[in-house]
Structure 1
Amino acid sequence: MWSLLLTPLCLITVFLLLEAPMAEVFVYVVYKQNSTCTDFRALSACLGPPVPREGLRGYLIEAAPANACHPIGGPPAGGNSSAAFIALISRYDCPLGVKILHAQQAGYQAAIVHNVNSEKLVTMVTNVEEIRQKVGIPSVFTGESASKQLRRVMGSEKGIHVTLVVPEHYHNPCWDNAKLSIGDTARHYWDLQFGYCSKRMISLFIQEFGIAIGMIVCTLLVVGCMRWCRKSQKITVSTFKTGDKYVTCVICMAEYEEGDQLKILPCSHVYHGTCIDSWLLIQPQRKTCPICKQQVTVAR
């Protein structure tokens, strides 16, 4: 039933959104300042080439305009022509694929897109075939706090080197098939999202219904215990037959005879019905067994 509910939701996400939350497959944005290395988590995009296995190091330059929804200025001219440059771009205002394409067209070798007013990470995708075919640089998505820290460092230094680090045993399922058609991309992304959605919903199901089941079990245990307690405190009635183990009523000191009505207290002591009724009646408050003094609850 859960699968039937998830299918249309995840499918709509694939075809209507240009970005969406996905499973945690991290690369790291690392920079060094004052002999201290700092790193931030980032998600690799599902368009353009993957971040190289050996990582990618370059000068970080903030895009102008910052959202890169229009063509942006290129890296600084002169210097070492072999140096790589990475564009820092803010989210929103236009599709993510357009932002990355503008960074590529300006001469950047990679792009870091950051969230705005959120630390949430999303995997960047596109269902626009033209953009998907044109994007040829790797890109990652990171949170707002990472962008603020990187901007502070850029403001205090002439140039900041950052490295996109690929952890050992890193595997991004976006690149299981190097070249996918737009239909394949949507289907492949659907497979990734469905797996994530299913695991997430199963986890939520266990959390929510696990608590409910636990409460039901506890309630049943309490009810069962209460019933057992009431049953164990109940006075039962029996008719004496020859051969029964009961012999004498300690209240009237008479022996039991065939057909006598007896009452058995919760403590298992036995008396004539009329004898124990009279005994309990003359006890105004705390009613107890004549022999063991165990409290007896009388039904009202």
Structure 2
Amino acid sequence: MLRCEASGADFGERVSFESDVMGCALFTEPRNACHNVSIPPISLNSTRYMCDDKFIAIVPRGECTFSEKAYYCQNAPPPGYSALIVYDERGRSPSPMAGGKYAELVNIPVVMISYACMEDIMNNYSADKGFLVMIKGAPGYYDLVKYLIPFIAVVGFCFLILLIALVVRLCREHREVARSRLSRSGLRKIPTRKFVKGEEPETCPICLDDFVEGEKLRILPCRHAYHCKCVDPWLTKNRKVCPVCKRKVGAHDDSSDSDAERNANSAASRERDPLLRS
């Protein structure tokens, strides 16, 4: 196998790494392909069968525009040329080819190779020796973008769906947490009073410290009394229920408890009703 580097043209069929243009490489008649061309006769019938009537024109650079050469090659008498390979002058590297007079009429692939590559193909890998030529592009920036953009779009879409699902879940969890906690405005509605020595109870059920006379206490609807510094964080950051009897604290329409749970809590609160009077 011989591999040659080539440059493309800005007209004709685009050559990509998905291209599969294959055929027998032949010089045209006339050689410069600046006029109507024909396919030269092939000496062996077996070679023509191998070519499957697919031929690639090999023409030199110069004497007319690249688009003219491509136009005459694609319009050669049947079966015509399926692609055009232009070889550069000796000692020069292939360069990109611009369109010209017939650029919009060309629909076959057009590439340029070096003079040394042309000599190697026609002398050592010719059709008479049973070799075929394939024109295939190497993956480039266009091909990378062509496949990378859909991939990024799919990944981005999946990430967006995941993000939306996560946001919805967080919103639901936030609502559930907010419903289970007491707001600051709700906390201010719960009465407070200063402790008077001799009243019952005398101990905070949370910190288990005795109340000090004049100390500010929070009196819950179930009549249980606590230090404000003890019960306020419990109600606003944990759950809006009494730590002792689990009775609901706050408005009934803001409750997430069931009727059965509220009834059970009410019964429990009556059993544990403290002596402190409101």
TM-score range, shorter chain: 0.3 to 0.5
**Structure showing the higher strand proportion among its residues:** 1
Please say which structure displays the higher CA radius of gyration: 2
**What is the TM-score with the length of structure 1 in the denominator?**
0.40
Could you tell me the TM-score, scaled by structure 2's length? 0.43
